[in-house]
Amino acid sequence: MTAKQAVHLLINARWIIPVVPANRVFEDCALVIHRQKIIALVPQAEARKRFEPEQAVNLDRHIVIPGLINAHGHAAMNLLRGYADDFALQTWLNDHIWPAEAEHVDAEFVHDGTELAIAEMIKSGTTCFADMYFFPEQAAQVARKAHMRAQITFPILDFPTSWGQGPDDYFAKGLALHDEYRADDLIRIGFGPHAPYTVSDPHLAKVATLAEELQAPIQIHLHETVQEVDDAYRDTGVRPIERLYQLGLLTPQTQCVHMTQLNDDDIQTIANSGAHVIHCPESNLKLASGFCPVAKLQEAGVNVALGTDGAASNNNLNMLEEIQTAALLAKAVSRDPAALNAHQALACATLCGAKALGIDDITGSLEVGKAADIVALQADDTSALPIYDPASALAYNNRALKVSHVWVAGRALLLSGHLQTLDERDIRARTEQWQAKIKPVRSQP
């Protein structure tokens, strides 16, 4: 008899949806984890014969999936959740959010807001998030403490903010941060030019050059509203996508967020460039920005990932909800009930997110050799039953499921619903202090 192989962790689960291979559900199988990686996905009986785990977790009423990837957000804006609802983007930004940010955002705000956001993300099954916000060094520090995987893009805008005096300052601070995290296993620093209407040509061109040189990602809000595209066309004679293309900013390293205003030429330009689309359906609905044509983009070969955007325009960071909204909306927009089925919607929130962030060799599916970024959802509440197809439960009835366990690179961040790397009581106390300090200006109806 050959000796059993010693491994760190064995996860036995009722259902495992690995995402790769696509459209598959493995029943009564086990994931075997050694060091930070998945080393096998086999039937439980075989796992018992072959492996001697340091720790075994039995999840016999659970659905196990790859960790969810929130491909766009502004984590610290969790402290502005519910601050200004029911406005269109430009009114929301100009009259409410930017004045609030000018008054309140500092390093401590970003530290505390990001910690609040990461706690929410872990508890709702997210293992990796893309962030674009001021004081990105704070976001990176908190992500590192929480052991979350993250892409942190440092903001570039033409004007001064509480984080810096203007573009030169932002580039200097951001590049230093990129250097600091160059060898980090979980955190990658990229460029976050805010939007075509807040960043001028020379700075966009500089982002393109530096990103190419450093092989770093770029994330930008793009074609979010009718007003953005109409104003740009009036002022420049081209649509923002065309301007970005001319400046060399559309490459496979580029993540275009929102993209609700797309004609056939725009879709072709994006497809040809290899740039990725980050679809934020709930933020787009709430700000009444428009609809991202997901089915058309996918048909054209564009990779579409999912993001929540910030909690000030969503108003939560729950990627399971985002999966459901994306799946329902895709059907309505394309008038095709088969558009974005349950497995495809889950893929958008996992593998496609990893592709967009350029980390699909590391995460995004439960494949042997990938990092153990794993989420388990308890699925035994009567409101979840019966479960004929766990992918259906995930996409269309996920309020009935409860995220119970979360691992990133094999380390537990959530065990039986309890955070392992963050102190929830402390987060609550600090959030209450911010709530007392930040007073929303409410106009009377």
Ligand X SMILES: CSC[C@H]1O[C@@H](n2cnc3c(O)ncnc32)[C@H](O)[C@@H]1O
The residue at minimum Cβ distance from ligand X is 155
Place of tokens 């790397």: 421
Element housing 306 (H / E): strand 304-306
Contact call for residue 135 and ligand X (CB under 6 A): no
394 phi and psi angles, rounded to 5 deg: -65, -40
User: Residue 126 Cβ, how far from ligand X at the closest point, in Å?
Assistant: 18
**Helix (H) and strand (E) counts for the chain?**
17, 16
State in angstroms the smallest separation of the CB of 166 from ligand X: 13
Give the x/- contact pattern for ligand X in 268-297, rule: CB under 6 A: ---------------x--------------
Nearer to Zn ion, 155 or 293 (CB): 155
CB of residue 282 to Zn ion, shortest distance in Å: 12
The least distance separating Zn ion from the CB of residue 162, rounded to whole angstroms, comes to: 18
Instruction: Please tell me whether 104 is known to bind a ligand.
Output: no
Residue 309 in marked binding region: yes
- Choice between 66 and 196, CB closer to ligand X: 196
Among 26, 51, 129, 133, binds ligand X (CB under 6 A): 133
- CB atoms near residue 84 (< 10 Å): 19
Residue 53's contacts (CB-CB under 8 Å, 6 or more residues apart) are: 7, 8, 9, 10, 32
Q: In whole angstroms, what is the distance from residue 74 CA to residue 29 CA?
A: 37
Q: From the CB of 147, what's the least distance to ligand X, in Å?
A: 24
We find the least distance from the C-beta atom of residue 312 to ligand X, in angstroms, to be 7
Q: Which stretch binds ligand X (CB under 6 A): 20-28, 240-248, 309-317, 361-369?
A: 309-317
The edge-to-edge listing of strands for the beta sheet with 68-70 is 68-70, 126-132, 149-156, 187-193, 218-222, 254-258, 276-279, 304-306
The distance of closest approach from Cβ of residue 155 to Zn ion in the complex, given in angstroms and rounded to an integer, is 11
Burial of 406 (0-12, 13-18, 19+ CB in 10 A): buried
Instruction: State the DSSP string of 239-261.
Output: -HHHHHHHTT--STTEEEEE--S
If one asks whether residue 194 binds ligand X (CB under 6 A), the answer comes out as: yes
Stretch that binds ligand X, among 42-50, 191-199, 209-217, 271-279 (CB under 6 A): 191-199
Residue 155's binding partner among ligand X, Zn ion, none (Cβ under 5 to 8 angstroms by kind) is ligand X
- Residue 134 in contact with ligand X, rule: CB under 6 A: yes
Cα angle 101, 121, 68 (rounded to 5 degrees) comes to: 125
Taking CA 210 as the corner, what is the angle to CA 205 and CA 212, rounded to the nearest 5 degrees? 95
Residue with tokens 């916000």: 133
Q: Is 224 in the site for ligand X (CB under 6 A)?
A: yes
- The answer on whether 432 is annotated among ligand-binding residues is no
Rule CB under 6 A: say whether 164 interacts with ligand X: no
Query: Is 212 labelled as part of a ligand binding site?
Result: no
Which of 29, 57, 97, 342 contacts ligand X by CB under 6 A? 97
Handedness of CA 108, 112, 115, 117 (dihedral sign): negative
Assign 3-class secondary structure to 328-352: HHHHHHHCCCCCCCHHHHHHHCCHH
Annotated binding-site residues for Zn(2+) read 72, 74, 221, 309
Annotated binding-site residues read 72, 74, 101, 194, 221, 224, 309
Residues that bind ligand X (CB under 6 A): 74, 89, 93, 97, 101, 132-134, 155, 157, 192, 194-195, 221, 224, 283, 309-310, 313
